[in-house]
Amino acid sequence: MTWILVPVSVGELLDKITVLEIKNERISDPIKLKNVRKELRELRRAWEASPYTGVDIDAYRSELKKVNETLWEIEDYLRVKEDEGSFNDQFIELARSEYRNRDKRTELMHLIDEQVGSEFTVEKSYPSYSAM
């Protein structure tokens, strides 16, 4: 097997792990599930081998998973409504909540990175909500 090794922030690694955990819980296609489980296993190994496992970030990690679950549900709803061509008030509100939840996700990754002293951190730059 060929690997591509790249440096990532701790928050980004844990974000990826939580997304894979959600996929593992929600995907039913056996081929996709096999791929998800393989990647999840390897990323968990990388995490467990890291020097950061002793740092208390469980609350941030748990919240990160909750935010990613919310994003999953929002995305599912938006895709159904898009397919139906139904752009009602609920669609608009959920579309807006998507970027707010993505901002919360980034904030949690930053908090994790700060807590563990990660050399890297994810950076995002968007107009403020008031400008929209």
CA-wise closest residue to 124 among 103, 108, 94: 103
pLDDT at residue 123, rounded to an integer: 86
Closest CA to 108 of 63, 47, 69, 56: 63
Q: Is the pLDDT of residue 131 over 60?
A: no
Q: In the chain, where are the structural domains located?
A: 10-121
What is the DSSP secondary-structure string of 84-103?
A: HT---HHHHHHHHHHHHHHH
129 has pLDDT over 70:
no
| pTM exceeding 0.85 | yes
Rg (alpha carbons) of the chain, rounded to whole number: 17
